[in-house]
Amino acid sequence: MTAGDARRTPAHEDDASFAEKLGYLFEHSRDENGAPYTGKKIAERANELGYSLSDAYISQLRTGKARTPSFRTVEAIARAFEVSVTYFLANPDEDLERVRQQRDYVEMLATTGTHLSGIDVGRICPDTIDVLIDLLKVVKAQAQAQGDTLPPPGEAPNPTGQNPQ
C-alpha cells in the first residue's frame, strides 16, 4: 500500500481513531510475498529501520488499549508500512487545501496592496479565507476595469488618482 492509497481509505476520515487507521493498514497491506502483515512483522521492520517497537505495544494500539502513541512510534509504524506519517495525523488532502487557501489569500493581499496587520493567517477559518480571497479578487478586478493600477505592497492607495507631491 502506498501513501496515496492510504489517503483514499475510509479509515482516513477525520473521526477515525488511530486504532481504526492502523487496523485498516493491517487489513489491506501486504508484505513482499503478498501475505498480510502481523504485528510481529511490523515491529521487526520498524526495529530494522532503527526504531524500538514491540509486537505487544502494536497490539495495544490496534485494540485501542493504548491511545496516544509518541510521534516516534507513529513514525516507526508508518515507515514499516511504507506510508506517510500524515496518514495517522491528519487528512493530507485537507491540509493541502488549507495551504492552497492561505497561499491564495497571501497572494491576493500582496497583489491588492491590502494589509491586515497582526492577523495570523493560520488561525483564520478556511471558509473566511475563501470569502476574503473572493473579496480581494473583486477589488482587483474593479481596479483593473477602471484602469487603476494597484500600488506596490506597502504603499497606500491614492484615491484621487493624482500624483502626490
What are the residue ranges spanned by the domains of the chain?
3-89, 92-145
pTM of the model: 0.50
Annotation: CATH topology of 3-89:
434 Repressor (Amino-terminal Domain) (1.10.260)
pLDDT tens-digit readout, 121-153: 566 666 776 777 777 778 778 877 887 655 555
**pLDDT tens by residue, 87-128:** 887 666 666 676 677 677 777 667 666 655 555 656 666 677
HSE toward the beta carbon, residue 79, CA cutoff 13 A: 17
The CA distance from 87 to 130, in Å, is 26
